[in-house]
Structure 1
Amino acid sequence: MIGVAEKLLAAYENQLRGLVPQDLPWGIVVERDGPLVRTHYGTHGTVDHAGLAHDDLAELIRRQQEVFAARHEPIEWKVHSHDAPLLAESLRAAGFVPGPERTLLVADIDGIPSPETLRSGIRIQPLDEKEERLRRMAAAAPEQRRPLAELEADGTARRAESEMKILAMVHDGRILDALWVERVDGTDFAAIGGITGPRPALFHAAGAWAKRHHIPPALSPRMPRHLVAEAPDALVPAHVAAGFHEIARVSTYRWAPAGEPARDRPAKQLLSDPEHDKIWKRFETRFDVTYETADRGIAEPPASATWHLDAVERQNDPLLAEVEAIVARGLRAVARPGDRLYRLKWYISGSRVDPTRVGGPGQPRWMSYAYLVDEHVIQVTEDLRMGTFGNWRESSLCVFGDELLAHVDEDLTDLLGTVLRRGGRPVGNIWSFGP
């Protein structure tokens, strides 16, 4: 008869290993290579797979090293105790170094016992990942399934109806310990990325959160049934006390190619990030525009041109797609190493991309845009030297910056016809809000 641990291990193997996420975080590229799933984060990458039976493991591993080396991305490759011994041997032979072993644990959410009554003044509450003490505690926590910094970079912690939650045990406003957990789309699992201390009550809170159906059924029809975690030996008893079963051992093997990896992902979603607010203030000051004055446009600099987009009536208009393609090509062509391109909308979330690292072969898709049919939108580099302003009230697109304008001027004029303004001064025969 199959025991509980064996059933949980089978569910883990069938659903989580080699999984391609349904909803990729910003700036992520996932590729399949035979039995392997490669995930490129821009700062590093991972290799995942289900049970691996391959005729030439050495060649398969060498190929992954070549792919990641071309991107200057270090590799993380998890090896489980029930994998064929040849996998660990082949990784070591290729220069991979194993990290500390952890215990792989799974619990049935319904089987997690209710915690003992907390002492007076202690409570468990959701926490914002921007809390500085939380960041320090999470960074100091022993290696587990997934660091909080990685989940934060995914952006899931700040979405409405989030698929991720940070739960903290707090006493008189002071964080005692914290746990971070995420739902795994398309599976029966929620995954605990890590916990800072042995607090069984936090596991119960994580299970209760996972069972609450915050996500609309059309978007996430499967309710989590299991919690999965990876724990160092010191934290295993707390997991077991909370109803987890030990199902395997796991270790992360790492290899780094020559060269310096990127410090930031190629793309990031921005909400109330300090850098988002900072670039907004600088843009408004430089271009003499606010939310209240945006209908009248920006103070268009000498190196700028503005085209009429009245022919665009809907967001999926093929004409607008051609405009966006021209602008994106221009931004990629003239971007400098290390450039940050911000997409901004008043009182709505923004984004940041590195134009040299998105939109090309093997890169994350281009996620910025120059024009919307129902709200103003801005694209601008961090140094404010170039960008675009889409004015939906005027049905116009302003492109500014010498380099960018030189690259797109002819193509946009051929496509759209008459230029409304150059350097902020009317030159066409179409009425506008310009001076």
Structure 2
Amino acid sequence: MTFTDNPSTTSAAHGSTAGAHGSTAAELLTAHDAQVRATVAARMPLTWASHPDGRVLRVTTPHRAFVFSDGLAGASAEEVEGYVERARDFFAERNEAVEWKYYSNDHPRLRGFLGAAGFRPEDEESVVVGRVPDVLDAGQVPEGVTIRPVSERRDLDRIAAMESEVWSQDWAWLADDLADRVAGSPDDIAVLVAEADDAADRAAPTVVAAAWLVVMPGTRFGGLWGGSTLARWRGRGIYRALVAERARIAQAKGLEFLQVDASEDSRPILERLGMFKVATTTPYVWTPQAS
């Protein structure tokens, strides 16, 4: 596979998982690689720009640059090393940090070449995949909490503020990213907030959690993104309720699979709901300062 901006890349991958009912983890991984990883270039937000290099796609965004690959199976060591070094040099010339999205089933030499080129690993996440019908009843909305869809900027800003509190970082950029996605392709994203009357803030309902479903056009997949909950509201089933609500939206859109890059907090919950860990993914980050 070669990365291009041609949407035909999507249709080539579509249909590769026919008859996936009762799928094993291996079958779900095959579906993920064929449909999700193979179609990045054809479904990027309008504010992202692609810079293809054969089997590698370099992407610039308003927030952070990315590198995606098809896994590079069958490539020679020299080819893999060349892809890594060209990506590093491309972003070094731009004086820009970049994240290479590495998967555990990628070329066996890739991780070593990334380290040698100055890319440093961040926290590993689990790639969790499941079928939409299996999580429709993931959980009920707990008493005192309301889940509703949002798209207005003021609500997106409230989500970004909640995420900033959860992660102890400035996530103001998230409101811009969600707004761009909603404006560019409103049918391909569903943003949900969970609100409650919080004793810590009686002036207005508090956004206690948020999550969004991102439809991957040309595939049968939807991505479960977000899913963060304020610390004092965890353990009440809000995360599971958000999974179930997004699964219902996915079903209405005709999707078959859901995919999550899951932390160790959410992975066990998703597996109990009937989803499968099919691989791991690790951000390998290169920065001009570190190099």
TM-score range, shorter chain: 0.7 to 0.9
Judge conservation of contact 1:125–1:168 (CA < 8 Å) in 2. yes
> Structure 1: how far apart are the matches of 2:185 and 2:108?
44
Q: Is residue 193 of structure 1 aligned with residue 234 of structure 2?
A: no
Contact between 1:20 and 1:30, CA under 8 Å: does it hold in 2? no
* Alpha-carbon separation, structure 1, partners of 2:174 and 2:113: 30
Residues 148 and 85 of structure 1: CA distance in aligned 2, closer, same or farther (over 3 Å): farther
Pair 1:126-2:157 in alignment = no
Q: Distance in 2 between matches of 1:246 and 1:39?
A: 27
Q: How much identity, in percent, do the aligned residues show?
A: 24
Tell me the CA shift for residue 28 of structure 1: 2.4
User: Comparing both structures, which one devotes a greater share of its residues to helix?
Assistant: 2
Inter-partner Cα distance in structure 2 for 1:103 and 1:160: 27
Distance 1:141 1:183, change over 3 A: farther
Match of 2:47 in 1: 27
What does residue 5 of structure 2 align with? none
Question: What is the distance in 2 between the residues matched to 1:196 and 1:77?
Answer: 24
How do residues 7-406 of structure 1 correspond to structure 2 at under 5 angstroms?
Answer: 7-41=27-61, 43-52=63-72, 53-55=74-76, 56=78, 57-128=80-151, 130-131=154-155, 132-141=157-166, 149=174, 152=177, 155-158=180-183, 161-172=186-197, 173-197=205-229, 199-213=239-253, 223-257=254-288
Amino acid across the alignment from 1:206: R
Summarize the Cα distance change of 1:116–1:232 in structure 2 as closer, same or farther, 3 Å threshold.
Answer: closer
**For 1:99 and 1:61, how far apart are their aligned partners in 2?**
17
SS of residue in 2 equivalent to 1:19: helix
> Which residue identity lines up with residue 134 of structure 1 in the other structure?
I
Q: Which structure 2 segments of 5+ residues have no match? A: 1-21, 198-204
Question: Which structure would you say has the larger RCO, counting Cα contacts within 8 Å and 6 or more residues apart?
Answer: 2
Aligned-CA RMSD value? 2.8
User: Structure 1 regions of 5+ residues with no counterpart?
Assistant: 214-222, 260-435
Q: TM-score, normalised by structure 2?
A: 0.75
**Bigger Cα displacement from structure 2, 149-158 vs 247-256:** 149-158
Asked whether the equivalents of residues 139 and 244 of structure 2 are also in contact (C-alpha less than 8 Å), the reply is: no
* Aligned mates of 1:150, 1:17 — CA distance in 2: 25
Q: CA deviation at 1:237?
A: 2.0
What CA distance in whole angstroms lies between the structure 2 residues aligned with 1:46 and 1:135? 21
1:148 touches 1:194 (CA, 8 Å); kept in 2? no
> How far, CA to CA, are the matches of 1:148 and 1:126 in structure 2?
20
Q: Output the CA distance in 2 between the equivalents of 1:5 and 1:205.
A: 24
**Structure of greater Rg:** 1
Partner deviation per Cα, 1:304-323 (whole Å, 9 max, x = no partner): xxxxxxxxxxxxxxxxxxxx
Runs of 4 or more, structure 1, over 4 Å off, are: none
CA contact (8 A) 2:47 2:180 kept: no
- Residues 138, 148 of structure 1: 8 Å contact kept: no
Aligned equivalents of 2:143, 2:61: Cα separation in 1: 43
Alpha carbons 2:136, 2:244 under 8 Å: kept: yes
Kindly tell me the number of residue pairs found equivalent between the two proteins: 246
Partner of 1:359: none
Q: How far off its partner does 1:40 sit?
A: 1.7
SS of aligned partner of 1:130: helix
The structure-2 alpha-carbon separation of the partners of 1:43 and 1:102, relative to structure 1 and needing over 3 Å to count, comes to closer
